[in-house]
């Protein structure tokens, strides 16, 4: 019996299942002149929203982007950059910032007195394997202006965020964190809808009716014993037609993509210590732990045990 069609198209599904963890939110007020030097954070994204005043985000990887009230930028891969009221203002090292921690995930920060800039800043880690592949294809910086169609569509979210950041009250952390998460996803949606390069390669393949369906099925059911024939049947194509079309759009054969996807999922789970190897082997479609170990070593050049975080010793 054929697998039911996904309720969302494959690209929507990637965004729908975008999972964020290790998130930290900060509402900041900087009196002019001000500047902060932010180091690279591998595996994490950063978002800066100006709620009052002006700012500029600049650095060798992002150029120079000016922000006014309601403008925000997303740096999906956490590249090093500076945020300041203007280029040339003295930069405060990131580690020298001492925020007022309101919880483990939420803080406020004030630097100096007088007029300046208010921002909401977010650091976020992405967990979903499909999302990690998407992040690798995004530019170093995505800028959403308040005076664009997308910015105007988010005007109410931005206004609520600014209000929660400026006037903390009961439940404010929950409201602020959820609104900030919306902006992270919205920035990605804006780029996907407007960037020409988002129409090609893996992103373009997700939009293709046949190939996109095959990718969605692989993502949804990596443990299934897929073959080229069974996937071709799901796409209503011959095996040769699917093989040719898939490689042309994705850049690799169908079955190699399936194997790579399984290893991507396995690597993420192992690095986060979420499963033992035997359970993981079954979850990504291998009949035995030894077969999984061989495939893992072949694709990634390391054994599963070599990528797992060490367990804390007794008494630690």
- SS3 state of residue 24: strand
Residue 11 to residues 70, 151, 256, Cα–Cα distance (Å) = 27, 21, 20
- Flag whether pLDDT at 4 surpasses 70: no
pLDDT in tens, 198-251: 667 787 888 888 998 899 889 888 899 999 999 999 999 999 999 999 999 988
What is the mean pLDDT of the segment spanning 159-174? 71
Question: Are 87 and 161 in the same domain?
Answer: yes
Question: Are 37 and 89 in the same domain?
Answer: yes
User: Which CATH number belongs to the domain containing residue 242 in this structure?
Assistant: 1.10.10.60
- φ and ψ of 24, to 5 deg: -135, 135
- Whether 123 is in a domain gets the answer yes
- Whether 10 is in a domain gets the answer no
Sign of CA dihedral 136, 44, 283, 208: negative
Exposed, middle or buried: residue 243 (CB in 10 Å: 0-12, 13-18, 19+)? middle
Question: Are 190 and 91 in the same domain?
Answer: yes
CB atoms within 10 A of CB 106: 20
pTM metric for this prediction: 0.70
- Whether 253 is in a domain gets the answer yes
Cross-sheet strand order for the sheet of 55-59:
63-67, 55-59, 81-84, 35-38, 92-93
Question: Are 150 and 256 in the same domain?
Answer: no
- Flag whether pLDDT at 42 surpasses 80: no
User: Which CATH number belongs to the domain containing residue 96 in this structure?
Assistant: 2.60.120.10
Question: Are 174 and 53 in the same domain?
Answer: yes
pLDDT of residue 138: 83
Range list of H helices, the chain: 10-16, 129-137, 149-153, 155-166, 172-194, 201-207, 209-220, 228-234, 239-250, 254-271, 277-283, 289-300, 304-307
Q: How confident is the model at residue 280 (pLDDT cuts 50, 70, 90)?
A: confident
Domains of the chain: total: 2
More confident site: 189 or 294: 294
- Whether 4 is in a domain gets the answer no
Residue-number span of the structural domain to which 219 is assigned: 208-307
Reading the block at residue 119, the tokens are: 């921002």
pLDDT of residue 310: 60
Question: Are 48 and 155 in the same domain?
Answer: yes
């Amino acid at each position: 019996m054929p697998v039911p069609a996904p309720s969302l198209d494959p690209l929507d599904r990637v965004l729908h299942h975008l999972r964020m963890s290790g998130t930290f939110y900060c509402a900041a007020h900087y009196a002019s002149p001000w500047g902060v030097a932010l180091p690279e954070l591998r595996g994490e994204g950063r978002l800066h929203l100006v709620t009052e005043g002006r700012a500029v985000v600049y650095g060798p990887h992002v150029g120079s982007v000016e922000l006014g009230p309601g403008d925000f930028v997303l740096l999906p891969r956490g590249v090093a950059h500076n945020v300041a009221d203007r280029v040339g203002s003295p930069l405060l090292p990131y580690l020298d910032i001492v925020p007022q921690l309101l919880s483990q995930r939420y803080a406020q920060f004030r630097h100096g007195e007088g007029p300046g800039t208010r921002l909401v800043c977010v650091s976020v880690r992405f967990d979903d394997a499909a999302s990690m592949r998407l992040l690798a294809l995004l530019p170093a910086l995505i800028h959403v202006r308040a005076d664009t169609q997308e910015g105007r569509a988010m005007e109410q979210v931005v206004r609520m965020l600014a209000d929660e950041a400026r006037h903390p009250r009961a439940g404010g952390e929950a409201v602020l964190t959820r609104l900030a998460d919306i902006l992270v996803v919205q920035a990605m949606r804006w780029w996907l809808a407007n960037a020409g390069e988002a129409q090609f390669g893996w992103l373009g393949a997700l939009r293709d009716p046949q190939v996109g369906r095959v990718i969605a099925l692989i993502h949804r059911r990596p443990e299934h014993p897929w073959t080229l024939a069974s996937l071709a049947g799901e796409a209503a194509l011959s095996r040769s037609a699917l093989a040719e079309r898939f490689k042309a759009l994705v850049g690799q054969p169908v079955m190699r993509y399936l194997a790579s996807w399984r290893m991507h999922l396995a690597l993420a789970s192992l690095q986060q210590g979420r499963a033992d190897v035997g359970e993981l082997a079954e979850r990504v479609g291998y009949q035995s732990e030894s077969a999984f170990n061989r495939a893992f070593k072949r694709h990634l050049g390391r054994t599963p045990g070599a990528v797992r975080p060490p367990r804390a010793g007794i008494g630690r």
